[in-house]
Amino acid sequence: MSSTAHAHGKTPKNALMVGAVGVVFGDIGTSPLYTLKEAFGEHYGLVANQANVLGILSLVFWAMLLVVTLKYVMIITRADNRGEGGILSLMTVVMRALPIASPLTYGIGILGIMGTAFFFGDAVITPAMTVLSAVEGMKVIAPGLEAFVIPAALVILVILFSCQRFGTEKVGRIFGPVMLVWFFCIALLGLLQIVKNPGILLALNPMYGISFFIENGVGAWLLLGAVVLCVTGGEALYADMGHFGRMPIRNAWMLVVLPSLVLNYFGQGALILENPAATSNPFFSMVPPALLIPMIVLATLAAVIASQAVISGAFSLARQAIQLGYLPRLQLKHTSVHTIGQIYVPWVNYILFFTVIMLVIGFKDSSSMAAAYGVSVTGSMLIDTFLMIILASQGWRLKAPVIWFFGLSFLIIDIALFSANAIKFLNGAWVPVLLGLMVFTIMRTWRHGRDLVRGQINRESLRIEHFIKSVQVDPPVRVPGTAIFMTPSNDYLPPSLLHNLKHNKVLHTQNILLSVETLSVPRADQEERYSMLDLGSGFYRLNFRYGYMEDPDVPKTLALMKAAGLVLDPMDTTYFASREALIAKADQGMALWRDKLFLFMSRNATPATEFFGIPGERLVELGTKVVI
């Protein structure tokens, strides 16, 4: 059983379900703030008559049922990577299911990076969109308060991002209860309106959605750009699966979240039929005037929780990307002594904060931002579907008719949703596309740049077996102690070892070539944590392996080596590492601008020795020049 499963087993299922309500469903849970408001906005020019209201509600209901319930809750959550979910986990699961040297491997890697890039775009737009939508309730209280919406949103966002360095352990305990209150309130508000007009429940019939498409044609397809807002955040239930487990997330969705959302959406529809003027802000129009201020406060709290969940998700995804070699090593700070998954990444936080503030100032209201919101979400969902189809055929070995039926059905839905949002490129959809392109370029450049550096170093080095033979023929002076040479590939002689021998004319009695490998699983099992090979003449080849959700701690793992027969005295052990001086050359490697981008990231990356927990007082760094 995985460590994740053990962790879940220690926590009561009801507590896990409440936690899932607070963390996983904050984004999709705040979608009623803006979905129908946007659907009946000026972008689409729809009249609030019975046919349109029932048609749109039918599309909203079936989108939640097919995309979130069937695709994510029932199917994709089964594609876990030792209990963990998310786009990078799905990518590694699919890759493991492929035959060796499959031509699909490269394409799947590209899809995984694209999905990660789209997620970071979502992580930027979600806080701006949800907080703006919540504080726009001020305009319902008094139109004169409109001038305070942007300042209020900015203040909330400044506080939110400023608090990230303290972690969410203490505040996170109230996430579940607050969101339970939120879902209870929105369900009650919707139910009160449905009681007045129970005929609105006819929209549960999918024929109303089909009729809406037949009558409106292209207009109905364009409207999917607003309908998709009801499923934003649906992919989060898969990404956060490792924190809560599949069943608590499934139960939270089926028992709490989905019923509350359906009641609220249908209640908004009932109100719009009774009072078409409510389309300006149907959510807050349902609230009794005396309760408007408390509801705005609750909506703001829910928006902050939704934003916090996606920001924490960005930190977690950045950590996975770093460990898997898709991003440079960044400073990671643990914010909880109890929960290892709670981390803070300063660089990511600064970039998110700056971009979110620019979005709020640039778009000014949630309706303008809605055009940009759907592209990153639907892009991620489309990539998930492609990967799911490959996994179903290569890993799950399902019958072809089953794959074709479900695969094509989900592809048609996802392509329709994605295209309806992409068509709004000039109206704001270019923002997440640009953000995604930037993240994609950074990740591809870093990965390719590291491969070039490693390849260049190996070409200029000797295989370690050849070096040991030369040492046996012409032995250098040996000094007492242990030297540990950090190297990305211990098949080749580390530059630090060669430079040490060249300048100091000595070798230690015991020399360990240590490489650290990140596995495509969240946590390495104890039996695969390390492997060691005695190469003779006092040389050892040592491999440490960590999962992409773990923090590599070399000294701590070295302490486990006594069982393998390797005895180390920490006070008599010296670590040697190479510090690469990178030089960009126009006629080799990548394009010169990508070389310069890679050099910038390398200079600002956390040194590998610090990242791996190497004690500075026992470290010797030797420079080596690498031309890429």
**Tell me: the pLDDT tens digits for 415-433?**
999 999 888 888 888 888 8
**pLDDT computed for residue 12 by the predictor:** 64
**Could you read off the pLDDT of 55-106 as tens digits, one per residue?**
999 999 999 999 999 999 999 998 888 888 889 889 999 998 888 778 888 8
Mean pLDDT for 117-123 is 87
Instruction: Using alpha carbons, select from 235, 257, 211 the residue that is nearest to residue 17.
Output: 257
What pairs with residue 515 in β-bridges?
543
Neighbours of 586 (CB within 10 A): 8
Place of tokens 């803070």: 344
| Dihedral pair phi/psi, residue 406, rounded to 5° | -70, -40
Lowest mean pLDDT among 62-71, 259-268, 554-563: 554-563
321: three-class secondary structure by DSSP: helix
**pLDDT computed for residue 245 by the predictor:** 84
- The chain-wide mean pLDDT, for the chain, equals 88
Query: Which uninterrupted H or E stretch holds 620?
Result: strand 619-627
Contact indicator for 537, 468 with CB cutoff of 8 Å: yes
Task: Please tell me the distance from the alpha carbon of residue 59 to that of residue 41, in angstroms, as a whole number.
Answer: 17
Mean pLDDT for 526-545 is 90
**pLDDT computed for residue 563 by the predictor:** 67
Give the tokens for residue 241: 């699966």
**Could you read off the pLDDT of 376-411 as tens digits, one per residue?**
889 999 999 999 999 998 888 888 898 899 999 999
Give the tokens for residue 195: 């009681």
Task: Please tell me the distance from the alpha carbon of residue 598 to that of residue 85, in angstroms, as a whole number.
Answer: 29
Mean pLDDT for 521-525 is 88
Instruction: Using alpha carbons, select from 467, 168, 460, 439 the residue that is nearest to residue 317.
Output: 439
User: Does the pLDDT at position 300 exceed 80?
Assistant: yes
Task: Please tell me the distance from the alpha carbon of residue 583 to that of residue 597, in angstroms, as a whole number.
Answer: 12
Give the tokens for residue 352: 């998110």
Contact indicator for 204, 401 with CB cutoff of 8 Å: no
User: Does the pLDDT at position 569 exceed 60?
Assistant: yes
470: Cβ contacts below 8 Å, ≥ 6 apart: none
Place of tokens 């491969």: 451
**pLDDT computed for residue 2 by the predictor:** 40
Q: How confident is the model at residue 141 (pLDDT cuts 50, 70, 90)?
A: confident
**pLDDT computed for residue 488 by the predictor:** 85
**pLDDT computed for residue 10 by the predictor:** 52
394: three-class secondary structure by DSSP: helix
User: Does the pLDDT at position 274 exceed 80?
Assistant: yes
User: Which tops the pLDDT comparison, 616 or 511?
Assistant: 511
**pLDDT computed for residue 484 by the predictor:** 93
The DSSP line for 469-482 is HHHHHS--EEEEEE
**pLDDT computed for residue 171 by the predictor:** 63
Mean pLDDT for 493-502 is 88
Give the tokens for residue 59: 């599309």
Distances (CA, A) of 335 to 3, 35, 267, 306: 20, 34, 41, 19
Q: How confident is the model at residue 170 (pLDDT cuts 50, 70, 90)?
A: low
User: Does the pLDDT at position 341 exceed 70?
Assistant: no
The domains found in the chain, sorted by start residue, are 20-429 (1.20.1740.10), 460-627 (no CATH)
3-class secondary structure for 395-460? CCCCCHHHHHHHHHHHHHHHHHHHHHHHCCHHHCCHHHHHHHHHHHHHHHHHHHHHHHHHHHHHHC
- End-to-end Cα distance, the chain: 44
Lowest mean pLDDT among 52-66, 297-311, 324-338, 604-618: 324-338
Q: How confident is the model at residue 191 (pLDDT cuts 50, 70, 90)?
A: very high
**pLDDT computed for residue 588 by the predictor:** 77
Q: How confident is the model at residue 5 (pLDDT cuts 50, 70, 90)?
A: very low
Give the tokens for residue 561: 């080596």
What letter does residue 606 receive in the DSSP assignment?
A: P
Instruction: Count the helix, strand and coil residues of the chain and give each as a percent rounded to the nearest 5.
Output: 70, 10, 20
Mean pLDDT for 15-21 is 83
Helices 400-422 and 218-227: crossing angle in degrees, nearest 10, is 90
Do the bridges between strand 333-334 and strand 343-344 make them parallel or antiparallel, or are there none, so unpaired?
A: antiparallel
Distances (CA, A) of 554 to 290, 520, 542, 608: 60, 19, 11, 11
Contact indicator for 128, 356 with CB cutoff of 8 Å: yes
Task: Please tell me the distance from the alpha carbon of residue 149 to that of residue 303, in angstroms, as a whole number.
Answer: 14
Q: How confident is the model at residue 4 (pLDDT cuts 50, 70, 90)?
A: very low
Task: Please tell me the distance from the alpha carbon of residue 237 to that of residue 76, in angstroms, as a whole number.
Answer: 10
Mean pLDDT for 184-193 is 97
| Dihedral pair phi/psi, residue 468, rounded to 5° | -65, -40
Rounded (5°) CA angle 340-436-128: 70
Task: Please tell me the distance from the alpha carbon of residue 252 to that of residue 179, in angstroms, as a whole number.
Answer: 11
User: Does the pLDDT at position 500 exceed 60?
Assistant: yes
